[in-house]
């Protein structure tokens, strides 16, 4: 079942404690982030035409947006935390919009929507509504890719951040509940973690077919 963009889920589409974590630690988080762009960014970009219009959700310190801009893509970097957006602006030398996921409100605007380790903070009940917004923001044929920490139940990490830990099957079902997607890949892999060490991740890539 599709969930309407204007639904009761909107009231819980973000977690204040998690936003507060990034607001308080934006500078430290930016300096401690990975040295280069996401390892899976290249696979996403290969599915797009040169110069494609891309929305990045939760751009953090702007490293992935920087890589996409360098390659000639038309990038709209956004982050839900003002202090984090300022960190990205310092890196990119251009404005970065402050926008939470539930504030995305456009229709058929982007060729691609990239969300590396950001949508994993959307509360479970709000997730289908956010997915519906992303679907609506894409042009027909547009590509969306996002990465999530793998798991079986929602919860908080040792730093108090909320995560919607999904299995691969549950993540695919959650996307189907929000919109009609063409599934291109759902891949499990091992990646790093802000708390140190490594853990299982899932990267999903979908297309808006209509």
Q: How confident is the model at residue 35 (pLDDT cuts 50, 70, 90)?
A: low
Instruction: Return the domain boundaries, the chain.
Output: 8-208
The mean-pLDDT minimum among 27-36, 37-46, 51-60 falls in 27-36
94-136 per-position pLDDT tens digit:
999 999 999 999 999 999 999 999 999 999 999 999 999 999 9
SS3 134: helix
Instruction: Choose the CATH number for 8-208 among 3.40.50.10420, 3.40.50.150, 3.10.50.30, 3.90.230.10.
Output: 3.40.50.150
Length of the chain, please? 210
Calpha distance 203→186 (Å, rounded): 6
For residue 72, with 0-12 CB atoms within 10 Å meaning exposed, 13-18 middle and 19 or more buried, which class applies? Answer: exposed
147-202 per-position pLDDT tens digit:
999 999 999 998 999 999 999 999 999 999 999 999 999 999 998 777 667 889 99
Query: Residue 193 has what pLDDT?
Result: 74
Query: Residue 196 has what pLDDT?
Result: 66
């Amino acid at each position: 079942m599709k969930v309407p963009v204007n639904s009761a889920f909107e009231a819980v589409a973000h977690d204040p404690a998690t936003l507060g974590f990034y607001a308080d630690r934006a500078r430290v988080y930016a300096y401690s982030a990975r040295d280069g762009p996401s390892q899976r960014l290249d696979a996403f970009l290969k599915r797009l035409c040169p110069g494609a219009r891309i929305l990045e959700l939760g751009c953090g310190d702007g490293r992935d947006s920087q890589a996409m801009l360098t390659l000639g893509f038309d990038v709209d970097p956004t982050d839900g935390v003002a202090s984090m957006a300022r960190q990205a602006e310092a890196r990119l030398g251009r404005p970065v919009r402050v926008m939470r996921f539930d504030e995305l409100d456009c229709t058929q605007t982007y060729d691609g929507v990239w969300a590396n380790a950001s949508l994993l903070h959307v509360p479970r009940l709000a997730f289908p509504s956010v997915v519906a917004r992303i679907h609506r923001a894409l042009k027909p044929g547009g590509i969306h890719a996002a990465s999530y920490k793998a798991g079986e139940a929602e919860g908080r990490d040792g730093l108090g951040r909320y995560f919607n830990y999904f299995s691969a099957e549950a993540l695919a079902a959650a996307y189907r509940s929000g919109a009609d997607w063409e599934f291109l890949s759902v891949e499990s892999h091992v990646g790093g973690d802000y708390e140190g060490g490594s853990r299982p991740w899932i990267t999903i890539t979908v297309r808006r077919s209509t």
